[in-house]
């Protein structure tokens, strides 16, 4: 099946020689083609170029007129917790009144609050709620997403979350990657014996997750008040033994040593990074680990901001993701992430798009097939509403600029 998208005002982020990630000052570059076409064969990108160079002898099965709108590759959202039950607006009010994320967590709110709800929820209701969230993010331009477990806090509920993610994977047009986050918070009954909980993660949960092939990644919340570097190291090493690639939460609350542990274990990404100094930057520079910033969580919790400009100036790549979750970032809108990148982190729109497409694809091990418009890649892209240029996307913030979505070469019904 050959599909032609014609009359594209500007085709954004085309790559003749695809890269797996973009680093440092290269993040400021995005190649585009004005007055372009895009040719799809089945679920893959076959060709692209100037309308004037389109070969009129090609047999086209479906022609789509972009009507002089722009086309972008779909966003890749490499960090979400979008399988959850209920919501946490009560804590949101506590936060407005002055309690910190850590204080709320300490008194049994936060992640523990979501864990209680997940433990009580049926697999079916979790699946249905998550499906609705997937539909929401697809319509805002996301084409690939990582989803974490982590609100189970016991073996049974963690497996329940991961089975929901597996079902989503089988039934959604989105590309989905599952991340096992058994060590997200300490259940109350383990407050005085954290290592006993780590034992369960290591000896019970990881083998079961691997046996049912429920995840490709392993995550730990390595931070002050959560899991130590030693506990993190132990969990990651066991995960690796069972074929899970690390991708961790670190340095949201403090210089926790999490970056070093991530790099030592060849993590695919190290996420949050509100606290990051020269040592951490050096460490990341010598690694394959993608530094990932979560601007939605920093915005929602009113946290200090990761020094994105300094990181880029040092030559690092940056990925950005939504962190969609009920506690610290109740939104999966990647268009807003691009706006936050520009407004709060002083990144250019070009840098922001690289961070939310090719680099975030890398952070899910997907950048060979996703994250740009390149021949042979999966045809995940969107046609915008009438907008004048790329810069307008983050500038005109807060509304959905996506008009039509294509996933695996097929149009998604809006």
For binding to Fe ion (CB under 5 A), which residues are involved? 323
Report, in Å, the least distance between residue 184 CB and Fe ion.
Answer: 8
Does 110 help bind ligand NIG (rule: CB under 6 A)?
yes
Point out the residue whose Cβ comes nearest to Fe ion. Answer: 323
Report, in Å, the least distance between residue 148 CB and Fe ion.
Answer: 7
Report, in Å, the least distance between residue 404 CB and Fe ion.
Answer: 30
Cβ(274)–Cβ(304) under 8 Å? yes
Does 332 help bind ligand NIG (rule: CB under 6 A)?
no
Cβ(144)–Cβ(174) under 8 Å? yes
Report, in Å, the least distance between residue 380 CB and Fe ion.
Answer: 23
In the region spanning residues 77 to 96, those forming contacts with ligand NIG, defined by CB under 6 A, are 81
Residue 42: left (phi > 0), alpha (psi -120 to 50), or beta?
A: left
Residue 215 binds which entry of Fe ion, ligand NIG, none, CB below 5-8 Å type-dependent: none
Residue 233 binds which entry of Fe ion, ligand NIG, none, CB below 5-8 Å type-dependent: none
Report, in Å, the least distance between residue 60 CB and ligand NIG.
Answer: 44
Residue 201 binds which entry of Fe ion, ligand NIG, none, CB below 5-8 Å type-dependent: none
Binding mask 37-76 for ligand NIG (x = CB under 6 A): ----------------------------------------
Residue closer to ligand NIG (CB basis): 322 or 348? 322
In the region spanning residues 341 to 380, those forming contacts with ligand NIG, defined by CB under 6 A, are none
Cβ(217)–Cβ(267) under 8 Å? no
Which residues are CB-neighbours of 380 under 8 A, at least 6 positions away? Answer: 73, 74, 143, 144, 175, 370, 406, 407, 408
Output phi, psi for 169, to 5 deg. -60, -45
Report, in Å, the least distance between residue 343 CB and ligand NIG.
Answer: 20
DSSP 177-242: EEEEEEESS--GGGTT-HHHHHHHIIIIIHHHHHHTT--SEEEEEESTTSB-HHHHHHHHHHHHHT
Does 111 help bind ligand NIG (rule: CB under 6 A)?
yes
Residue 280 binds which entry of ligand NIG, Fe ion, none, CB below 5-8 Å type-dependent: none
Does 328 help bind ligand NIG (rule: CB under 6 A)?
yes
State which of residues 221, 275, 299, 340 lies at the interface with ligand NIG (CB under 6 A).
221
How far apart, in whole angstroms, are the C-alpha atoms of residue 29 and residue 323? 25
Does 325 help bind ligand NIG (rule: CB under 6 A)?
yes
Residue closer to ligand NIG (CB basis): 223 or 233? 223
Q: What does each C-alpha distance from 312 to 20, 259, 342, 347, 351 come to in angstroms?
A: 17, 17, 14, 9, 9
Residue 221 binds which entry of Fe ion, ligand NIG, none, CB below 5-8 Å type-dependent: ligand NIG
Point out the residue whose Cβ comes nearest to ligand NIG. Answer: 327
Number of residues that bind ligand NIG (CB under 6 A): 13
How far apart, in whole angstroms, are the C-alpha atoms of residue 46 and residue 69? 20
Does 249 help bind ligand NIG (rule: CB under 6 A)?
yes
Residue whose token pair is 């990881």: 206
Q: What is the dihedral of CA 360, 334, 147, 118, to 10 degrees?
A: 160
Which residue intervals of 243-356 are DSSP H helices?
Answer: 258-264, 278-285, 295-300, 308-313, 334-343, 349-356
Residue 387 CA to its chain's centroid (Å) = 25
Residue closer to ligand NIG (CB basis): 48 or 151? 151
How far apart, in whole angstroms, are the C-alpha atoms of residue 209 and residue 206? 5
Residue 110 binds which entry of Fe ion, ligand NIG, none, CB below 5-8 Å type-dependent: ligand NIG
Where does 296-400 show beta strands of DSSP type E?
319-320, 381-384
How far apart, in whole angstroms, are the C-alpha atoms of residue 252 and residue 323? 13
State which of residues 3, 13, 114, 380 lies at the interface with ligand NIG (CB under 6 A).
114
Residue 111 binds which entry of ligand NIG, Fe ion, none, CB below 5-8 Å type-dependent: ligand NIG
Does 327 help bind ligand NIG (rule: CB under 6 A)?
yes
Report, in Å, the least distance between residue 314 CB and ligand NIG.
Answer: 24
Cβ(175)–Cβ(143) under 8 Å? yes
Binding interface with ligand NIG (CB under 6 A): 81, 110-111, 114, 221, 249, 252, 297, 323, 325-328
């Amino acid at each position: 099946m050959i599909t032609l998208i014609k009359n594209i005002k500007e085709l954004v982020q085309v790559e003749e020689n695809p890269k797996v990630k973009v680093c440092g000052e290269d993040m400021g570059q995005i190649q585009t083609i004005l007055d372009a076409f895009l040719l799809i064969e089945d679920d893959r990108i076959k060709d692209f170029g100037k309308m004037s160079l389109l070969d009129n002898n090609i047999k086209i099965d479906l022609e789509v007129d972009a009507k002089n709108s722009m086309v972008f590759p779909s966003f890749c959202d490499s960090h979400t917790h979008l399988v959850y039950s209920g919501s946490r607006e009560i804590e949101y009010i506590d936060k407005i009144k002055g309690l910190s994320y850590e204080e709320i967590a300490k008194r049994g709110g936060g992640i523990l609050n979501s864990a209680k709800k997940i433990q009580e929820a049926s697999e079916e209701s979790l699946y249905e709620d998550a499906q609705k969230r997937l539909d929401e993010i697809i319509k805002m331009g996301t084409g690939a997403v990582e989803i974490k477990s982590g609100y189970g806090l016991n073996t049974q509920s963690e497996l329940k979350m991961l089975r929901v993610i597996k079902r989503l994977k089988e039934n959604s047009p989105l590309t989905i990657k599952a991340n096992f986050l058994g060590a997200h918070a300490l259940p109350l009954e383990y407050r005085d014996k954290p290592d006993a909980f780590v034992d369960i993660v290591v000896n019970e949960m990881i083998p079961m997750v691997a046996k049912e092939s429920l995840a490709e990644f392993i995550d730990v919340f390595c931070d002050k008040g959560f899991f130590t570097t030693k506990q993190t190291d132990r969990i990651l090493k066991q995960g690796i033994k069972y074929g899970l690639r690390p991708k961790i939460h670190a340095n949201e609350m403090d210089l926790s040593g999490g970056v070093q542990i991530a790099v030592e274990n060849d993590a695919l990404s190290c996420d949050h990074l509100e606290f990051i100094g020269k040592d951490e930057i050096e460490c990341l520079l010598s690694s394959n680990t993608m530094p990932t910033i979560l601007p939605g969580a920093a915005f929602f919790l009113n946290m200090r901001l990761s020094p994105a400009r300094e990181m880029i100036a040092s030559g690092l790549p940056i990925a950005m993701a939504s962190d969609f979750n009920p506690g610290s970032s109740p939104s999966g809108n990647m268009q807003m992430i691009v706006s936050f990148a520009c407004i709060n982190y002083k990144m250019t729109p070009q840098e922001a798009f690289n961070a939310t497409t090719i680099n975030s694809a890398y952070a899910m091990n997907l950048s060979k097939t996703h994250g740009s418009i390149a021949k042979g890649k999966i045809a995940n892209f969107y046609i915008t509403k009438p907008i004048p240029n790329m810069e307008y996307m983050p500038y005109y913030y807060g509304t959905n600029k996506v008009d039509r979505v294509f996933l695996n070469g097929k149009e998604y019904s809006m």
